[in-house]
Amino acid sequence: MSWQCLALDLRDDPAAIAEYERWHRNEFIWPEVVRSIREAGILDMQIFRTANRLVMLMRVGPAFDAGAKAKADAANERVQAWEALMSRFQQPLPWAEAGQKWVPMQRIFDLADVPSAL
């Protein structure tokens, strides 16, 4: 198992941010989207926000394949409808590639790698 960390910005609009957060509450999130996440081998997913910046942590199993997940999502009408809905609130990071939403973050520190004698 490993962790992946990704970042994305929301439009800098308090009403849009509140609406985005509402869609991610248990009573509003679409079950088909949650199912697609779990079926891809994502064991845990958490999204954090500060101002309009989002950070997503995903704990993935050894069989997780981001390319296969993207391909499955592209073929899933309900996931595509969710992505279109979420796009109303999102904006790419300035350094994102064309068409890229969530940008992978590079780990620069891991406490587990620091000798315990320090």
Res 17: pLDDT = 98
pLDDT band at 118 (very low <50, low <70, confident <90, very high): confident
DSSP, collapsed to helix, strand or coil, labels residue 12 as coil
- Cα separation, 68 vs 51, in Å, equals 32
- DSSP state for residue 63 in the 8-state scheme: T
Q: Where are the alpha helices (DSSP H) in the chain?
A: 14-23, 31-39, 66-74, 77-87
Ordered structural domains, the chain, with CATH? 2-99 (3.30.70.1090)
The neighbour count for residue 10, using CB atoms within 10 Å, is 19
pLDDT band at 117 (very low <50, low <70, confident <90, very high): confident
